[in-house]
Amino acid sequence: MMNRQIHNPLVTPTFYFTVADTVPGFVTGTNQELDTNNNNNRCHLQGSPTHAAVIGLGLSGLAAAVFLSKQGLDVDVYDSSNKPILRQQLAQQLPDVQLHCGSLAVEHWRDDSLLVVSPGVPLSHPDLAPLLATGVRPVGDIELFAQCVQSPVIAITGSNGKSTVTALVGEILRHAGRRVAVAGNIGVPVLELLEDDKNDIYVLELSSFQLETTWSLKPVIAVVLNIVPDHMDRYQSMDDYVATKLKVYMGSTRMLLNADEPYILQGQQSDREQIFFSAATPEKEQDYGLSEINSVVYLCRGDEPLIAAEDIHLAGRHNQLNVLTAWALASSVGVADSQIKEAVVEFKGLPHRMELLHNFNGVAWINDSKGTNVGASVAALRGLEAPVILIAGGAAKDADFTPLREAVEQHVKAVILIGRDAGKIQDAVSDVVPTRLAADMSDAVTQASILAETGDVVLLSPACSSFDMYQNFEQRGDDFRRCAERLL
């Protein structure tokens, strides 16, 4: 069923402060209207703060400190690390701003202070507890952006597929001649884009961490692509994680909803325009889905075929849904189907996401290092028809690997495991498929090359984060690529 009638209200996670849809002091409507003119005037932050405590000096924290300084605020920066490079980065851009290293406890709080928390810092951090207990509402860089942006925003979140959909929507809009900026959890920090704002529209990829501290964003359309258990080392429960994802709909004009996902259908709002997408045939004219016509799978809107699945370059049913979602988002802001189709046909995907590296001796090597949770790896496996040698493992983030069993049993010949929590995956799947442990990526690739036969796929899709062995998933994917290329 495409339009399931579930009308539960959005839920605020138990560890956040309740906020009304309209926040006092917020200039409403400015980032909703498609014909809004840009201006580069200093923006009016809610509450007119004169001081900010920025917690966490990552990319977004540094961008927030720079932005707030340019807005005329006194800024103090706090970071738990004491790395010299942090002081150097801050001193180069903000020589007058003080960096407090070690504790994240704010030392100089005023009645007109603003608490800015970087996405990498959990709101449950004990150093933040005294301030949060007084009712101070933390904000992040996306919230600051939301209070200042004058152009319309498309907001995209979900457990998997965010970057692919965000990048594709950006490419479609560029192809259609729009001045578009793609940012958020992808590309440059979003606040840097307000420096010289000449953009017609923004496409934002938003993580759950960013949504925790976002309250005022009013997208023209928002979507939650999917929700599977992830970051369970950060959230008290699955309900908290779901509620955080659904916050993206809180101020949206239109809602794009995945009709196949019960968690997402909890976010339906009867007072909003709602568009649905699904892997099933669409039931309504405005909804999107997949239909088989003369034995060919088509992406459709209503009963109208838009493009044959075989004409897109991204592998797997999950990527067909990603393209379908991007099509719906672009169409909702006025891009013609013909322009969308041209951009979709040209789009080759992003690195580390079901990226075909090469075929060697009849074996395909695919890099899906961005598969950092169980749901992503399950989707990757289900999108492949050939037998798979799976390389998986890393830091589990308190994940339950039981849902991996069925996909592994159906699609995988052998699993080669790396990383800190390799044993947890081995415990979950060793009774349905042969498993091996590897010392590192090089060893895993060597073992995979011995096991693989003509017609097989060697797939790196770890179902885990990379931080036990690598700086990020990109470095992990690059290591896999280097090791695989040595076989050529």
pLDDT digits (tens, 9 = 90+) for 223-234: 999 999 888 889
pLDDT digits (tens, 9 = 90+) for 389-448: 999 999 998 999 999 999 999 999 999 999 999 999 999 999 999 999 999 999 999 999
206 band by pLDDT with thresholds 50, 70 and 90 = very high
Owner of token pair 């590309």: 187
CB atoms within 10 A of CB 362: 10
pLDDT given for residue 26 in this prediction: 28
Q: Which fold has domain 51-138?
A: Rossmann fold (3.40.50)
Percent of the chain with pLDDT over 70: 92
Check if the beta carbon of residue 75 is closer than 8 Å to that of residue 97.
Answer: yes
pLDDT given for residue 383 in this prediction: 87
Q: Which fold has domain 355-485?
A: Protein-Tyrosine Phosphatase; Chain A (3.90.190)
287-323 exposure pattern, b = at least 16 Cβ within 10 A, e = fewer: bbbbbeeeeeebbbbbeeebbebeebebbbebbbbbb
pLDDT digits (tens, 9 = 90+) for 102-114: 999 999 899 999 9
What's the whole-number mean pLDDT along residues 38-58? 84
pLDDT given for residue 196 in this prediction: 72
pLDDT digits (tens, 9 = 90+) for 263-297: 999 989 989 999 999 999 999 999 999 999 999 99
Strand 98-101 versus strand 74-79 pairing type? parallel
Whether the CA torsion 147, 255, 233, 390 is positive or negative: it is negative
Owner of token pair 């992503």: 376
pLDDT given for residue 138 in this prediction: 98
pLDDT given for residue 229 in this prediction: 86
pLDDT digits (tens, 9 = 90+) for 289-341: 999 999 999 999 999 999 999 999 888 899 999 999 999 999 999 999 999 99
Q: Which CATH architecture has domain 144-346?
A: 3-Layer(aba) Sandwich (3.40)
pLDDT given for residue 74 in this prediction: 96
Q: How is residue 344 written in tokens?
A: 């979709």
13 band by pLDDT with thresholds 50, 70 and 90 = very low
Q: How is residue 348 written in tokens?
A: 């080759």
User: What DSSP designation does 405 have?
Assistant: H
Residue 1 has pLDDT above 50, yes or no: no
pLDDT digits (tens, 9 = 90+) for 444-464: 999 999 999 999 999 999 999
Write the DSSP string, 304-347.
Answer: EEEEEGGGSS--SHHHHHHHHHHHHHHHHTT--HHHHHHHHHH-
What's the whole-number mean pLDDT along residues 23-35? 35
pLDDT given for residue 39 in this prediction: 40
User: What DSSP designation does 135 have?
Assistant: T
Write down the pTM of the prediction: 0.83
pLDDT given for residue 77 in this prediction: 96
What's the whole-number mean pLDDT along residues 468-472? 97
pLDDT given for residue 16 in this prediction: 34
49 band by pLDDT with thresholds 50, 70 and 90 = very high
What's the whole-number mean pLDDT along residues 161-179? 97
pLDDT digits (tens, 9 = 90+) for 434-445: 999 999 999 999
Residues forming the active site: 162, 185, 231
453-482 exposure pattern, b = at least 16 Cβ within 10 A, e = fewer: eeebbbbbbbbbbbbebbeebeebbbbbbe
- The total number of residues shown for the chain amounts to 488
pLDDT given for residue 321 in this prediction: 97
5-36 exposure pattern, b = at least 16 Cβ within 10 A, e = fewer: eeeeeeebbeebeeeeeebeebeeebbeeeee
CB atoms within 10 A of CB 69: 17
Q: Give the residue extent of every domain in the chain.
A: 51-138, 144-346, 355-485
pLDDT given for residue 84 in this prediction: 81
pLDDT given for residue 17 in this prediction: 32
Check if the beta carbon of residue 318 is closer than 8 Å to that of residue 160.
Answer: yes
Write the DSSP string, 417-441.
Answer: E-STTHHHHHHHHTTTS-EEE-SSH
pLDDT given for residue 25 in this prediction: 29
pLDDT digits (tens, 9 = 90+) for 353-370: 899 899 999 999 999 999
> HSE (CB half, 13 Å, CA atoms) of 193?
30
Rg (C-alpha) for the chain, rounded Å, is 23
Higher pLDDT, 268 or 11: 268
Residue 21 has pLDDT above 80, yes or no: no
82 band by pLDDT with thresholds 50, 70 and 90 = confident
Residue 4 has pLDDT above 50, yes or no: no
Check if the beta carbon of residue 155 is closer than 8 Å to that of residue 217.
Answer: yes
Whether the CA torsion 40, 73, 132, 59 is positive or negative: it is positive
Residue 118 has pLDDT above 90, yes or no: yes
